Amino acid sequence: PLVLGIETSCDETGVGIVRGHTLLADAVASSVEEHARFGGVVPEVASRAHLEAMVPTVERACDTAGIALRDVDAIAVTSGPGLAGALLVGVAAAKALAIGLGKPLYGVNHLAAHVAVDQLEHGALPDPCLALLVSGGHSSLLRVGDVTGDVTPLGATIDDAAGEAFDKVARLLGLPFPGGPHIDRAAASGSSVSIDFPRGLTSRRDLERHRFDFSFSGLKTAVARWVEAREAAGEPVPVADVAASFQEAVCDVLVRKALDAAASEGIDHLLIGGGVAANSRLRAMAEQRAGDLGIRVRVPRPGLCTDNGAMVAALGSEMVRRGRPASGLDIPADSSLPVTDVLV
């Protein structure tokens, strides 16, 4: 089936077109530059940008795929979680297309889509697989049987998301928003062992209650204190070393807990998804440590880790393939949709 997917949960207007597991088009328009000077995404600005970008992005995706809209067999759209006003634009556009074309509509979960997208690159997902979902708003460990419905959370962050920590630390270091890619780049020329930053929820006591949970707010505070002390002493801040040491602390905990979860569940495939999965150190470290345990790692290419429409089309395509019933035309935009609600 030919599926068109629409993503508008944050600041990327994404339209993807897939046939089965084959990616035909992935058009993305981002309003990130409009938010950069505010140091974070401004919801109202994002909603307006989606409204302006929607039709041109749909057209661009169809051109790239070499298809006409009437060829599409189903429409998929992110129903949540995300910014309410931003989601509304995508959901309204998807409903309009579904009505106009007379095709079924699938309202899907953005987080599950971050997992499903890997099928476009590495083929069908193994059942089960252990997913480490790390993005701007979420950090979770999930046991995924069937990505269209069988998703069990094993743990999650108890405070900041991993991407949020990257963005906050970048800001502290005077790097632009969104900070993840800038920290990644700065870290390349720094030493990851120069500063020993804390690994949240890894003490024996914390592991008793929070074995598969994460905490990044203490790490963020530790970095802030370290930078303040430097500045108070009138010494320059070694940005590359701080970035590398911070990044090492985040990746160490993510990989350690993900592999522990996989081993304890008896799962030999680790899938990493979400914007932070684009991080070069996270990818390399997971690959290296998993190899020693005989666990296979799957990570989509960086461009498919950050928000895009292809991920939504990929999940929609899987819904069609597995014969899941389409959503009604009354699907909501649900800003706090739980990860276990894959199809709305």
- HEC string of 12-79? EEEEEEEECCEEEEEEEEECHHHHHCCCCCCHHHHHHHHHHHHHHHHHHHHHHHCCCHHHCCEEEEEE
Among 7, 160, 241, 307, indicate the residue that binds Fe ion (CB under 5 A).
307
Cβ(271)–Cβ(125) under 8 Å?
Answer: yes
The number of beta carbons lying within 10 Å of the beta carbon of residue 115 is 29
In the numeric block, which tokens belong to residue 187? 């870290």
Query: Mask: binding to ligand ATP, 51-90, rule CB under 6 A, as x and -?
Result: -------------------------------x--------
**Residue from 14, 104, 155, 163 that binds ligand ATP (CB under 6 A)?**
163
Choose between 24 and 277: whose C-beta lies nearer to ligand ATP.
277
278: its two tokens: 């684009």
Please pick, from the candidates 184, 248, 260, 341, the single residue that binds ligand ATP as defined by CB under 6 A. Answer: 184
Q: Segment near Fe ion (CB under 5 A), from 70-78, 140-148, 186-194, 302-310? A: 302-310
Q: Where do we find the tokens 């690959």?
A: 287
Q: Which residue has the tokens 């062992």?
A: 193
- The residues, ordered by sequence, that sit 6+ positions from 195 with a Cβ below 8 Å of its Cβ are 226, 241, 242, 245, 246
Choose, by CB under 6 A, the member of 279, 299, 312, 318 that binds ligand ATP: 279
164 near Fe ion, rule: CB under 5 A: no
Cβ nearer to ligand ATP, comparing 326 with 344: 344
Per CB under 6 A, 253 contacts ligand ATP: no
Q: Is 248 in the site for ligand ATP (CB under 6 A)?
A: no
Tell me which amino acid residue 1 is. P
Please select the residue that binds ligand ATP; options are 80, 85, 90, 136, rule is CB under 6 A: 136
- Is the distance from CB of 130 to CB of 262 less than 8 angstroms? yes
Binding flag, residue 309, ligand ATP (CB under 6 A):
no
Q: How far is the CB of 282 from ligand ATP (least distance, A)?
A: 7
DSSP for residue 157? B
Cβ–Cβ < 8 Å for 183, 170: yes
Span from 160-168, 198-206, 235-243, 309-317 in contact with ligand ATP (CB under 6 A): 160-168
Provide the H-helix boundaries in the chain: 32-36, 43-65, 84-101, 110-116, 118-122, 162-172, 180-187, 204-210, 217-232, 239-265, 280-293, 302-305, 310-321
Nearest to 74 by CA among 306, 322, 304, 273: 322
9 lies in the binding site for ligand ATP (CB under 6 A): yes
Site string for Mg ion, 6-45 (x = CB under 5 A): ----xxx---------------------------------
Phi-psi region of 7 (alpha: psi -120 to 50; beta: other; left: phi over 0): beta
Shortest distance, position 99 Cβ to Fe ion, whole Å? 27
Residues of each annotated binding site: 110, 114, 133-137, 167, 180, 184, 279, 307
Which of 191, 203 has the CB closer to ligand ATP? 191
User: Rounded to the nearest whole angstrom, what is the least distance from the CB of residue 325 to ligand ATP in the complex?
Assistant: 26
Summarize as ranges the residues that interact with Mg ion (CB under 5 A).
Answer: 10-12
Summarize as ranges the residues that interact with ligand ATP (CB under 6 A).
Answer: 9-10, 82, 110, 135-138, 163, 166-167, 178-181, 184, 274-276, 278-279, 306-307
Summarize as ranges the residues that interact with Fe ion (CB under 5 A).
Answer: 135, 307
